[in-house]
């Protein structure tokens, strides 16, 4: 597998959305139901915004041609939303400096994933930047919510996420990821009534 393909793989929504759900389960299990609900609301808002932007273009050709924008980069958005929070929760509350470093590492990883989407010509700069901005707004808003210092801290969420990702990879492989993209395309064509989804560079039909 090409290096950038490998890096990009870490940003697949098919893996990160289950990881986000595992974080919510951990928060609920740790008796911080309010935090679990806020986290789910934040992630679902980011994921929903990303999906709507993709459906708008694939179904109706709605984008910003001047910026080569055809939809928010889901890899960038989900990576920037999930990884900073996941790594923060793994650091003991007694190590605030290390926790900030964990958040920084999460942001760095998300940025690297965004760069991989550019290297693979999967997205334009505007799509990656908006994805990173949306994801960071999600994770940083959650982490800076009043009372975030009371969040339960344990390596358990990271271990659970890694085990979950490994299990998904072993059971589904690349086919599941490809199917999720085709599902978005099928949804867009169904909602718009068109025979096929719009693609980058394709003229918009009247």
- Domain assignments of the chain as residue spans, ordered by start: 3-192
d(C-alpha 131, C-alpha 81), whole Å: 9
Q: Please state the separation of Cα 182 from the chain's center in Å.
A: 18
Residues 6+ apart with CB under 8 A from 69: 63, 124, 126, 127, 130
- 181 — pLDDT class (breaks 50, 70, 90): confident
d(C-alpha 24, C-alpha 60), whole Å: 34
The reported pLDDT for the residue numbered 173 is: 55
d(C-alpha 65, C-alpha 167), whole Å: 40
- 190 — pLDDT class (breaks 50, 70, 90): very high
- Is 90 exceeded by the pLDDT of residue 95? no
pTM of the predicted structure, to 2 decimals:
0.89
d(C-alpha 73, C-alpha 53), whole Å: 9
Query: For residue 49, how many other CB atoms are within 10 A of its CB?
Result: 16
Residue 196 falls in which region: left (phi positive, over 0), alpha (psi -120 to 50) or beta = beta
> Do the Cβ atoms of 61 and 83 come closer than 8 Å?
no
Percent of the chain having pLDDT more than 70?
A: 84
What are the CA-CA distances from residue 160 to residues 19, 50, 183, 191 (Å)? Answer: 8, 25, 27, 36
Average pLDDT over residues 84-98: 87
- Is 90 exceeded by the pLDDT of residue 48? yes
């Amino acid at each position: 597998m090409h290096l950038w393909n490998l890096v990009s793989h870490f940003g697949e929504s098919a893996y990160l959305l289950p990881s986000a759900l595992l974080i919510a389960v951990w928060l609920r299990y740790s008796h911080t139901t309010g935090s679990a609900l806020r986290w789910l609301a934040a992630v679902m808002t980011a994921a929903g915004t990303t999906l709507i932007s993709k459906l708008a273009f694939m179904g109706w050709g709605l984008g910003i041609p001047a910026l080569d924008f055809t939809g928010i980069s889901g890899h960038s958005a989900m990576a920037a939303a999930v990884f900073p929070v996941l790594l923060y929760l793994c650091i003991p509350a007694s190590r605030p400096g290390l926790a900030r470093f964990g958040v920084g590492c999460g942001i760095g990883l998300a940025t690297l994933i965004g760069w991989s989407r550019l290297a693979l010509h999967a997205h334009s700069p505007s799509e990656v930047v908006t994805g990173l901005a949306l994801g960071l707004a999600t994770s940083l808003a959650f982490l800076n919510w009043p009372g975030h210092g009371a969040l339960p801290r344990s390596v358990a969420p990271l271990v659970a996420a890694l085990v979950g990702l490994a299990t998904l990879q072993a059971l589904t492989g690349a086919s599941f990821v490809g199917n999720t993209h085709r599902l978005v395309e099928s949804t867009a064509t169904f909602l718009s009534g068109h025979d096929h989804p719009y693609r980058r560079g394709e003229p918009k039909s009247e």
